[in-house]
Amino acid sequence: MSEQVSATHGPAEDDHIKRQDRTELLDHGLEWPDPEESGLWPDQGIWAPEARFARTSAWPGFRAIEMRSELARHLNRTAFPARREQLLQTLTDRQAEQPVLDLVSALPARTIVDNVGELTRAVGLPVEDRRA
């Protein structure tokens, strides 16, 4: 592990600046204005719309990407090759959410898959085509 070194001054100057900052904070830390009393913030502000994790995105491929990610998160290499029943048991043991279980349970009973990519294609999720 390397130490971060300042290019403009040495460790002694760094310590001096830290002590100075600490002293100023202790001396003036209670002087912050109360937003309601100061009048500097007259409104509550304008908040950004909901984040992508707060609700489902309008982009159609978003849900497919989430499902592929959930499959990959719960099913590592040791889970394969596997039949549908084995996959469902592994997903249940690893506390996968119900939409993931529903997706895998829609596979035909005797289906055997060798990896997550093959499972993704078998359940009908779109797969990214990456060219080497």
For the ranges 23-27, 44-48, 70-74, the one whose mean pLDDT is highest = 70-74
pLDDT in tens, 99-110: 888 888 888 888
What's the residue count for the chain?
Answer: 132
**Residue 59: predicted pLDDT:** 57
- Greater pLDDT, 43 or 91: 91
Q: What is the C-alpha to C-alpha distance for residues 100 and 75, in angstroms, rounded to an integer?
A: 11
**Residue 116: predicted pLDDT:** 87
Which whole number is the average pLDDT over 12-36? 78
**Residue 1: predicted pLDDT:** 45
Q: Which amino acid is it at 78?
A: T
**Residue 32: predicted pLDDT:** 64
Question: What number of helices (H) and strands (E) belong to the chain?
Answer: 6, 2
Q: What is the mean pLDDT of the chain?
A: 77
End-to-end CA distance of the chain: 35
Asked whether 109 and 121 are in contact (CB, 8 A), the reply is no
For the chain, give every domain's residue range: 77-122
